[in-house]
Amino acid sequence: MTNLFDNNIVITFPDITKIDFVSISKKYLNVILLNITIYFVIFICSLFIVTTYYLQDEMMGFKYYLYAGITILFGFFYVVYAIGFKKRKYAVREKDVSYKSGILFKQTTSVPFNRVQHIEIDQGPFSRFFKLASLSVYTAGDSSDDLKIKGILKEDAIKIKEFISTKIDG
């Protein structure tokens, strides 16, 4: 009887650090900061209404500390997202697409084309204004997107989608 199944030992592994990753569009930082600013303004306005109409008089002295604390918190978010923005990169290779991000918790996700079920391109209102898009890659057996690259130029997203589509169809 011949052995139809070989399970060879893998000795060398591909080095993912050697991939030439591409940075996402710098315009996407504007989208991120614009979203944070909108949340900040809504939160501060809500806080103003609550403190003006519902805060007891003896607590009014703490109102300014609360405003200062919230402003510092949102300033922290600005800094974290600005630093983390530089870490967001993607790469499209012959047989897979990869995305990496993170400051403290670094994450690298690679999806081989033979696992891809479908691809979507999404645009929010601010992304549309800056001509940006998000590319979502879905694989078999999962209901959510396995890889989402936010902040790439819409033209690039369309090209990547077409490239991956031809790879999975061919």
121 with 135: CB under 8 angstroms?
yes
- Which of these ranges, 49-58, 98-107, 125-134, has the smallest mean pLDDT? 49-58
157, pLDDT greater than 90: yes
- Mean pLDDT: which of 25-29, 57-61, 107-111 is highest? 25-29
- Which of these ranges, 52-56, 73-77, 108-112, 166-170, has the smallest mean pLDDT? 52-56
Q: Helix crossing, 27-53 with 63-85: angle to 10°?
A: 170
Q: Is 100 helix (H, G, I), strand (E, B) or coil?
A: strand
- Of the pLDDT bands very low, low, confident and very high (cuts 50, 70, 90), residue 14 is confident
For the entire predicted model, the pTM comes to 0.79
In whole angstroms, give the CA distance from residue 15 to residue 11: 13
15, pLDDT greater than 90: no
Give me the CATH code for the 90-169 domain, please: 2.30.29
- Which of these ranges, 36-50, 58-72, 121-135, has the smallest mean pLDDT? 58-72
Residue 151: Cβ within 10 Å count: 24
- Of the pLDDT bands very low, low, confident and very high (cuts 50, 70, 90), residue 58 is low
Q: What is the pLDDT of residue 41?
A: 94
Q: What is the pLDDT of residue 10?
A: 78
Q: Quick one: average pLDDT of 21-44?
A: 94
1, pLDDT greater than 60: no
